[in-house]
Structure 1
Amino acid sequence: MLAYKAYCFDLDGTVYRGKMGIESAVQFIHHLQRQGIEPYYLTNNSSKTRETLQQLLKSVGIEAPLHHIYSSSLATAKYVATICKNNKVNVVGEAGIRTALLEEGLEITEEQSDVLVMGIDRQISYEKLVKASAYIQNGAKLIGTNEDIKFPNENGFAPGNGSFVHLVSNVAGVTPLFIGKPSPVMLQIIADEHQFKKEEMVMIGDNYDTDILCGIHFGCDTIHVNTGVTPTEIVKQQAQLPTYCVENLIELLK
């Protein structure tokens, strides 16, 4: 395998599953750190702040600098700040997306606004979905932090943010805009902020439709690991293949 300067890891299904670390990934990251290479972490999970993600990584044995952690919330907030006319937004989501929007100078309101942002909300209710659908039908632009239909946990898979965004979009009859992977926005932010060329970067993930396509859309190399959402046999049937396919990241150390 080629040597890279920026190893960009997905989190859920790649580095950990729920609250349990994936040992092969943890060992590989420790190996990189011993070589003086500090990885980057990209997650479509919009519920957590950078600080919370840093603590979660620490709980599975990984010390990660705060400025090496990127989420769909951060990328979404940066985008929304550029299109919001009056700096007010409607939001469905948890602390991660709410904090990111506030840090971009936006105001979260319950009144009708021009933009509705949807991130994962584990306290989702029928009432919240009804209100979100009304915002869109009254003219708000629907922006989802990510399109993940499901994500792995300790017991299998749980509904992802994309499931709820598509529900609202179907009710309102609109097409949502998604910012998280497979959009290459987060990889582009890393390249811009840390001055990397595309050939110096590699995207590592378990989900072909988000992680691998994110790297392909961006134009960097990709590594698919068979530890989460998309089985290797399904990946190998795709028209656009990852640069590498491994069962787990320990294979790369042999």
Structure 2
Amino acid sequence: MKYKGYLIDLDGTMYRGKEPIPEAPDFIHRLREAKIPFLFVTNNSTKTPEDVAANLQDNFGIEAHVEEIFTSSLATAAYLKSLHHGEKVYTIGEKGLKEALSVAGFKEDEINPDYVVVGLDQKVTYEELKTATLAIRNGARYVVTNRDTNLPTEIGLVPGAGSLAALLTTATRVEPTFVGKPETLIMEQALERIKLSADEVLMVGDNYETDILAGIRSHIDTLLVFTGFTSREDLEKVEVQPTYQIDSLKEWTVE
């Protein structure tokens, strides 16, 4: 089937940590040659779109432009704007999240925020978690960039944004709103950005639990590539299968 656009995951699909995936640059080149629009859709909230594009180009030889990057930070900022509930935020997160919220017009306020927004923060302190807990218990809306509990690294699985969220949920007994994959929130926004409907695009990723479920929940066809998180053995255990599955991106024909 010919698709008018692609939504493409990054880690595990375009690269693995700091390791290149050899077929990825050519896959993107073929999309460009065919004049098929695409968005890189990532749960990573720590980097700005500029940083993500530079990483793809400089470290992996993948042509990427800022307007082709859609992060969970951008999706979170847009979601908060849509609520019209105030402009004061208390943020646990890194540069990518804080910059996205600032550009969207939100102001940091640790005393009486309208929202507590949580993303991955590798330098988070107990004091910051305490401030967030008190704000949520005092009525601030609680929003998390993504529910990823762990991140794969060269030394093993380390805590992700979902793990920080679990701590705050335990401390507050309040369940957050999650924005990133596999939620439909980020996918709806991605479709708006690429200006296509769900039946016109293909979601490409390596992780059934995030990329593929995001597509399934949003009624978007999915392509699982076995270069990252999910294995064929993992896939045998799930009831709803991806639309397509391949070992390598070089197997996929771009029409």
TM-score of the pair, normalised by structure 2: 0.92
Partner of 2:160: 160
Partners in 2 of 1:252 and 1:28 — Cα distance?
Answer: 8
Partners in 2 of 1:248 and 1:151 — Cα distance?
Answer: 22
For the 8 Å contact 1:17–1:153, the answer to whether it is kept is no
Partner of 2:193: 193
Per-residue CA deviations over 1:14-53 (Å, capped at 9, x if unaligned) read 1122233222223322232233334310000111111111
Change in Cα spacing, 1:93 to 1:6, as seen in structure 2 (3 Å) is same
Amino acid at match of 2:141: K
Partner of 1:27: 26
2:124 aligned with 1:124: yes
Change in Cα spacing, 1:86 to 1:186, as seen in structure 2 (3 Å) is closer
Matched length = 253
For the 8 Å contact 1:181–1:210, the answer to whether it is kept is yes
2:61 aligned with 1:56: no
For the 8 Å contact 1:232–1:245, the answer to whether it is kept is no
For the 8 Å contact 1:17–1:154, the answer to whether it is kept is no
SS in 1 for 2:157: strand
2:106 aligned with 1:106: yes
Partners in 2 of 1:33 and 1:45 — Cα distance?
Answer: 24
- After TM superposition, give the deviation of residue 210 of structure 1 in Å: 1.1
SS in 1 for 2:245: strand
Partners in 2 of 1:40 and 1:85 — Cα distance?
Answer: 29
Amino acid at match of 1:153: T
Partner of 1:213: 213
Partners in 1 of 2:18 and 2:128 — Cα distance?
Answer: 27
Partner of 1:36: 35
Partner of 1:82: 82
Per-residue CA deviations over 1:1-26 (Å, capped at 9, x if unaligned) read x2212121111221122233222223
SS in 2 for 1:116: strand
Amino acid at match of 2:10: L
| More divergent stretch after superposition (224-233 vs 202-211) | 224-233
2:129 aligned with 1:142: no
Partners in 2 of 1:28 and 1:166 — Cα distance?
Answer: 37
SS in 1 for 2:3: coil
For the 8 Å contact 1:224–1:245, the answer to whether it is kept is yes
| Runs of at least 5 residues in structure 1 that lack an aligned partner in the other structure | none
For the 8 Å contact 1:222–1:242, the answer to whether it is kept is yes
Change in Cα spacing, 1:152 to 1:27, as seen in structure 2 (3 Å) is farther
* Aligned residues: CA RMSD: 1.9
SS in 2 for 1:23: coil
Amino acid at match of 2:42: T
Per-residue CA deviations over 1:34-91 (Å, capped at 9, x if unaligned) read 3333431000011111111110111211112221210111111011123353310111
Alignment of 1:170-185 (within 5 A): 170-185=170-185
- After TM superposition, give the deviation of residue 253 of structure 1 in Å: 5.0
Partners in 2 of 1:3 and 1:155 — Cα distance?
Answer: 40
SS in 2 for 1:142: strand
Partners in 1 of 2:135 and 2:92 — Cα distance?
Answer: 11
Partners in 2 of 1:193 and 1:43 — Cα distance?
Answer: 14
For the 8 Å contact 1:235–1:241, the answer to whether it is kept is yes
TM-score of the pair, normalised by structure 1: 0.92
| Runs of at least 5 residues in structure 2 that lack an aligned partner in the other structure | none
Amino acid at match of 2:13: T
Amino acid at match of 1:87: E
For the 8 Å contact 2:184–2:214, the answer to whether it is kept is yes
Partner of 2:6: 7
Per-residue CA deviations over 1:101-151 (Å, capped at 9, x if unaligned) read 111111112213121000111112233222222222222221000001122
Partner of 1:239: 239
Amino acid at match of 1:62: I
